């Protein structure tokens, strides 16, 4: 390397990472770095592949937990289909919409129209605001008319869309003579439960196949990470770190994103602390941080009441001796907590709905338990993660910093004098 001193404030050489971009969440690895998804690649290709021969594709819904490669495989297959179509002189566009961002029909159609324009020489101006869904559809049909024989539309995290009209519009477009282009939709959802509501949301015009992606096992996770080892400088990853990372992620529902995140976070931790290598202890610490991040992300759209409900459940688990708690028990503690942060509590029924939402997101699990016929049944809620992580994630919300920390909660069993926080409602 050339001996250019530069500003000593900035290191010219990263001692830990070499190609850190390989560990970024949105990074789409090359084909030869994709591990253990041959069957899934074949299946997705079988549904949309007709496009490459100039025939109508099937729509497909992909279900599976986070980090099972749904987004990756969809993009990978769509891009390959585009290339294969081009070889047959078919103009096939690929459109990707993250519906957790574009979560209304207007936003989604706007994004479709804009990225179609981006991919073509379409001249007309597409307004960013002040117009409705219909106008965006007009642009979409117009661009398809002028530039494409077919498009593949990936609607990722489709369950975040506030309505499913876009599915009907896209699947009926040819029939309704809006366009001659074939449209293949790949819908993706982390929530298998979405499947139950999908049939109610759409009519038969959105005919589709369903695919389920299963979690990775530890050996697949190891291989996924080995394939990205060159993100690090040589010799930096200590022996056993990838194995440990894979084992931790496999235990937490085989999530490849999480495995990669932990690896990256461990590297950053090593760098921050001036360590020359990444050790197993860095992986352990990184795993905790990653889990808190995950919870924070899952609950980021949640209301303050949902967060307080989670906090109430977590704190009951910490200060009590049971893993599961009734809605009523959570509610009682929640009301106490509302006082601490001077928030007006919502009703018990309202809180029950917030808990159901969290169960849907996968932060908690709720199970109906029958007392006898005369006693009626009730719900028992449990956390799917360490309560400590919930406490930390909830306290990251600026408005909830006054809540007791995990350490303060674990001390509530002992003497309660001399506290800077009033913990009386936790005993
Ligand atoms: N089979 C695989 N081979 C290599 N990397 C993978 C594989 N599956 C997932 N990944 C990586 O793991 C991360 C999460 O995958 P992603 O497709 O976003 O999961 P999902 O959409 O199911 O939540 C991404 O960084 C992706 O590149
Ligand atoms: Mg995804």
Pocket test for ligand 1, best of 242, 257, 362 (most atoms within 8 A of CB): 257
Q: Tell me the CATH architecture of domain 304-426.
A: Orthogonal Bundle (1.10)
Weakest-pLDDT range from 202-216, 234-248, 332-346, 358-372: 358-372
Task: Give the distance (Å) from ligand 1 centre to CA of residue 71.
Answer: 7
Could you tell me which residue, 143 or 11, shows the higher pLDDT? 143
- Please determine whether the domains at 37-213 and 304-426 fall in the same fold group of CATH: no
The pLDDT of residue 279 is above 70: yes
Give the mean pLDDT of the chain.
90
Q: Please give the average per-residue pLDDT across 225-232, as a whole number.
A: 94
What does the pLDDT read at residue 78? 96
267: Cβ below 6 Å to ligand 1? Answer: no
Instruction: Check if the beta carbon of residue 120 is closer than 8 Å to that of residue 145.
Output: no
Which atom of ligand 1 is nearest the CA belonging to 36? 1
Answer yes or no: CATH 3.20.20.220 is held by domain 37-213. Answer: no
CA of 415 to the centre of ligand 2 (A): 47
In short, whether 29's Cβ falls inside 6 Å of ligand 1 is yes
What pLDDT does 424 receive?
Answer: 65
Q: What is the pLDDT of residue 163?
A: 87
Q: Is the pLDDT of residue 423 over 90?
A: no
Q: State the pLDDT at residue 414.
A: 47
Interval 169-200: pLDDT, tens: 999 999 889 999 999 999 999 988 888 888 77
Assess whether the C-beta atom of 76 lies below 6 angstroms from ligand 1.
no
CA distance 32 to 50: 24
Domain chopping of the chain, boundaries: 37-213, 216-298, 304-426
**Atom 20 of ligand 1: nearest residue by CA position:** 67
Tell me the two tokens of residue 398: 């600026």
pLDDT reported for residue 28: 81
Characterize 231-248 residue by residue with b for buried, 16 or more Cβ atoms within 10 angstroms of its Cβ, and e for exposed.
bbbeebbbeebbbbbbeb
Residue 185 Cα to ligand 1 midpoint, Å, equals 20
Instruction: Report the pLDDT value the prediction gives residue 293, as an integer from 0 to 100.
Output: 86
Q: CA angle at residue 192 from 188 to 197, to 5 degrees? A: 90
- How is the chain split among helix, strand and coil, in percent rounded to 5? 50, 15, 35
Q: Which of 65, 70, 72, 211 to mutate to test the pocket of ligand 1 (most atoms within 8 A of CB)?
A: 72
Assign 246 a pLDDT band (cuts: 50, 70, 90).
very high
For the 216-298 domain, the top CATH level (class) is mainly alpha
User: What is the C-alpha end-to-end distance of the chain, expressed in Å?
Assistant: 62
- Of the listed ligands, the closest to the CA of 157 is 2
Tell the residue number behind the tokens 């398809």, with chain if given: 144
Q: Find the DSSP H helices in 8-69.
A: 38-48
The closest residue, in CA terms, to atom 18 on ligand 1 is 71
DSSP lists the bridge partners of residue 25 as none
Looking at per-residue pLDDT, the higher value among 291 and 381 belongs to: 381
Q: How far is the CA of 188 from the centre of ligand 2 (A)?
A: 7
Q: Which two tokens stand for residue 409?
A: 């909660």
Q: Give tens-digit pLDDT for 37-57.
A: 999 999 999 999 999 999 999
Q: How confident is the model at residue 416 (pLDDT cuts 50, 70, 90)?
A: very low
């Amino acid at each position: 390397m050339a001996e250019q001193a530069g500003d000593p404030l900035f290191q010219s050489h990263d001692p830990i990472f070499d190609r850190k971009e390989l560990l970024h969440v949105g990074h789409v690895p090359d084909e030869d770095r994709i591990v253990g998804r041959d069957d899934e690649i074949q299946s997705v290709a079988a549904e949309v592949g007709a496009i490459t021969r100039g025939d109508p594709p099937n729509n497909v819904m992909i279900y599976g937990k986070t980090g099972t490669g749904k987004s990756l495989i969809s993009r990978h297959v769509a891009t390959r289909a585009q290339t294969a179509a081009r070889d047959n002189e078919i103009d096939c566009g690929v459109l990707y919409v993250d519906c957790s961002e574009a979560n209304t029909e207007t936003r989604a159609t706007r994004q479709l129209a804009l990225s179609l324009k981006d991919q073509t020489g379409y001249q007309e101006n597409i307004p960013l605001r002040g117009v409705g869904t219909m106008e965006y559809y007009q642009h979409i049909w117009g661009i398809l008319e002028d530039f494409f024989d077919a498009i593949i539309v990936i609607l990722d995290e489709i369950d975040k869309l506030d309505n499913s009209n876009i599915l009907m519009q896209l699947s009926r477009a040819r029939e309704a003579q809006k366009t001659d282009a074939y449209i293949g939709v790949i819908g993706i959802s982390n929530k298998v439960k979405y499947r139950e509501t999908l049939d109610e949301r759409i009519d038969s015009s959105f005919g589709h196949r369903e695919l389920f992606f299963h979690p990775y096992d530890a050996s697949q996770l190891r291989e996924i990470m080995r394939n990205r080892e060159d993100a690090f400088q040589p010799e930096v990853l200590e022996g056993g770190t990838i194995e440990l990372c894979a084992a931790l992620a496999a235990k937490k529902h085989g999530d490849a994103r999480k495995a990669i995140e932990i690896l990256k976070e461990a590297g950053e931790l090593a760098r921050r602390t001036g360590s020359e290598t990444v050790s197993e202890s860095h992986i352990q610490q990184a795993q905790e941080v990653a889990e808190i991040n995950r919870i924070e992300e899952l609950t980021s759209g949640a209301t303050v009441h949902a967060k307080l409900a989670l906090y109430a459940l977590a704190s009951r688990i910490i200060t009590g001796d049971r893993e599961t708690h009734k809605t009523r028990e959570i509610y009682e503690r929640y009301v106490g907590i509302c006082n601490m942060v001077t928030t007006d509590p919502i009703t018990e029924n309202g809180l029950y709905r917030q808990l159901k939402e969290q169960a849907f997101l996968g932060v908690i699990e709720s199970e109906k338990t029958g007392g006898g016929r005369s006693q009626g049944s009730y719900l028992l809620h449990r956390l799917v993660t360490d309560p400590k992580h919930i406490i930390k994630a909830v306290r990251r919300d600026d408005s909830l910093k006054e809540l007791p920390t995990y350490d303060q909660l674990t001390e509530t069993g002992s003497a309660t004098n001399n506290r800077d926080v009033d913990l009386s409602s936790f005993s």
